Structure 1
Amino acid sequence: MGIQGEGTERSADRPREYRAAELAEAAGITVRTLRFYQERKLFSPPRREGRIVWYDEHHLARIRTITELLARGHTLGGIAELISAFSAGRDAGQAAELLGLSEPHPWSEEEPVRLTPEDLAAYYGSESDADNLAAALDIGYIAVDGDEIVHLSRDLLESSSAMVREGIPLSAILRVGHELRDQVDTAAEAFTELMRRHVLPEALGPAAGADGPVSEEDMKRLGETLGRLRPLVKKAVYAEISLAFDRKLRAELHLSEPAEDG
């Protein structure tokens, strides 16, 4: 059953889907523009169900990428060539340079990994197509610096590519990553609030909250405090996810176990 303005409900084997008007609204464009992009073959054909046409989250990610590229001054013709280059593996270095939509976050504790487009293909094989590239850009997993693609987390790169080798489609992994973003942000906000209430006042000293700049001594003390607390927070979050994963797996295995005799 469709949900107006939010697409159809997602099933286990298919991402959320949208009618043309719903997709256009979610992407911030008009239906006429959507049709024009489709005529220019800037994204893969939608799924047809009788007379109804359904678009999915990959189409939404692609349109958002097109919008970003247009905002950076690229023409639709150039964007079409870019997409073709990534799809066919031609002129990949130039294509990667054009896709510089955002910069890596230098403050992140995660280790970024610099890759050529060929390196990225080595990690994901045939899964490193234009649709998945657009989805990864939309989530923020990858950015571009010159001729190199920067994956923002070595852990995410290695774990996701390993899951692909286990047979999980990259599109499905990216979809889960997109769904997790809000939930992870909520958890991060909860721990940030704990620090705001119980750690920052002491770490920054009695002058915290004043209009003046924070002193170098305060920043050093804060850095040392966060250096101790961040690993603890990550361990707590990992443990909660691990326990939840165990619960879900036990429930799934119990449902699939054959009934015992007697």
Structure 2
Amino acid sequence: MASRPDSEQAGEYRINDLARESGIPVRNIRLYQERRILPPPMRRGRVGWYSEAHLARLRLIARLLDRGYSLAHIGELISAWERGRDLADVLGLEAALTSPWSEEPQTVISAGDLQRMFGKQEERGSLDRAIASGMLRPDGTRFRVASPQLLDIAVQLVQAGYPLSVVMKVAEDSMHDIERVAERYVSLVKATITPSLSPGEIGDAAIGPTDDHAEIDDPAAAAALVQRLRPLARKSVDAMLAMAMENAVNQVLGDAVSALAKEGRTSSEPEH
């Protein structure tokens, strides 16, 4: 085994060695330094030396990237940590924000399964639309179902006689509408976890917590508040949908009755 150069101490790495140990390309390490989420190396002469702390930081960055963070968000997390906050609290807030909102079990199906569910109506165009909307996610040669419950509803609607293309259009439009509702609740969460934002930046729908004992600048307290908001958001959407459906059905029935009454009056008028 080759001996270490005299200038290299245990737990110190040149950038190429650091890349090999961490599994992160040199170009990414340099990018992280530019973004200031990785401290610069210690300089001895013309050589930059990285420590075990650098290696640990790179592994943390890799884990956060795998969990869906952007480099900007990672920078914010690391800055919070370096200001003295507990990283466990910061990641606890992340878990409260990003853990699944649905308790539906994960389901994976094949193209053959879809063919059996929808028969001849299952065409490539429908599959592409389902993937584009996020209802299906490719998983090798199979597909992961985002919501088995929604898939079952689609099957039942098709069995009731509605064309799959119509069912897909209703689902896509409904998803677009519900995303606007979700954005309003996200604004509420945003107000909870970013107290420095002004009301104008957050939006009219945002309302921050008023409990003086819930320090919204504390990640642990913010995580607890977000956990309280999660079931309330779902219940409110269910309640508002029920009210909206009732109003819409009554409107349709009212229009139908009016049309029938008008038709009845017209047919009863004497001919001249």
TM-score, normalised with respect to structure 1:
0.48
Specify the structure having the higher radius of gyration (Cα).
Answer: 2
TM-score, normalised with respect to structure 2:
0.47
